[in-house]
Amino acid sequence: LLWQPSTHTHAHTPCFLSSLLSLSLFRQVYLPGAYETESKIPVLYYLSGLTCTDENASQKSGIQQYADEKGIAVVFPDTSPRGLNVPGESDSWDFGVGAGFYLNATMPKWKKWRMYDYITEELPSYLQTTFPNLDTTNASLTGHSMGGHGALTIFFKNHQKYKSVSAFSPICNPVNCPWGKKAFTGYLGVNEAAWKSYDATELAKAYDGPNTKVFIDQGADDDFLKSGQLLPENFEKAVEGKSNIELKLKMREGYDHSYFYIATFAEDHVNFHAKYLKP
C-alpha cells in the first residue's frame, strides 16, 4: 500500500494489563487528524481473523486513510490471549492462540479465553479513559473471517451498543462448519445450545431488535467459501423475510480471502459505517 498517514494522524500501540484475561494485551489504535481538534470521535472496531495479531489489518488493510477522511478512529484488537502457556495453546493455527473466536470460553482449561467480554466491556472502558476525545458510545463493528464472525455476533447480541456492522468473508454459520465445530467444542464443550449463542446465522434468526442493515462482503473466488467454512448463503436464507434485517451481500468476482481483497474494498465499509456514525 502506498498510503502514508498524514502528519495530523496518530497510531498508538498501547499495552495494558487486562483484568479479564490476566495478561498484558496490545492493540493498535488509529486516531484521525480530527482527534486533535474535536471531541466525540466515533470508533470503528476492526476484528481480525485466524492467526492474526493486532498488526495485520493495521498494516495491510489501508482502512485508516478512509477513516481519517471521515473523522473516525479505528481500533484493531488482538485475536486471543497470548503468553498464558496453556498446554496445547499453540498446537494448531485454528484453535488457541490467534483463534479466540470472540467468545467467552466455558471449558475450564480455556477459562481465560474471554474475548467477547474483552471486546464489549473492558476495551471500550480502557479506550474512553486513555483517549478522552473518543466516544465509545458511538461505535460500529467490522472484521474479516473469524473477525467477521465476531463483528456479526457481537452486534446481534448488543445491538443497543453499536450503530452498524459489516464483515469481510465472515464465518457466518460456525455451528455448521469445521472451524466452528472445532472451536466451539474446545471452548464451549458439547452443548450445542451454547454454540448457537455465538453463531451469526442463529442470532439473526432470533433477532427482534430495531431495523438494521448488515453489509457482508465476500470474494467469489475464496477457497474457504468453496470449502464450506464461511456459509454466507445460510445467513442470507436466515434473514429472508425478516422485516428488521436488510442484508447487503456483495459477491466480488475474482477476489479471494486475502488482504489485497480487503484493501480494495475497505473504503466501501468505512463509507457504510460513516452513514451511521456521522449521520
The residues annotated as belonging to the active site are 145, 222, 257
Q: State the DSSP H helix or E strand holding residue 110, giving kind and residue range, or none if neither.
A: none
- Please check whether residue 179 is in contact with residue 50, taking contact to mean a CB–CB distance below 8 angstroms: yes
- Please check whether residue 30 is in contact with residue 57, taking contact to mean a CB–CB distance below 8 angstroms: no
Cell numbers standing for residue 42 = 466515533
Q: Give alpha helix (H) positions in the chain.
A: 56-60, 63-70, 115-117, 123-130, 146-157, 178-188, 192-196, 200-206, 223-226, 232-239, 259-277
Cell numbers standing for residue 95 = 484453535
In this structure, what are the phi and psi dihedrals at residue 214, rounded to the nearest 5 degrees?
A: -115, 130
Rounded CA gap, 105 and 136, in Å?
25
Nearest to 147 by CA among 246, 67, 217, 244: 217
- Please check whether residue 122 is in contact with residue 26, taking contact to mean a CB–CB distance below 8 angstroms: no
What b-and-e string marks burial along 160-181, b requiring 16 or more CB atoms within 10 Å of the CB? eebbbbbbbbbbbbbbbbebbe
3-state DSSP call for residue 175? helix
What's CA 99's distance to the chain center, in Å? Answer: 12
Q: For the chain, what's the residue count?
A: 279
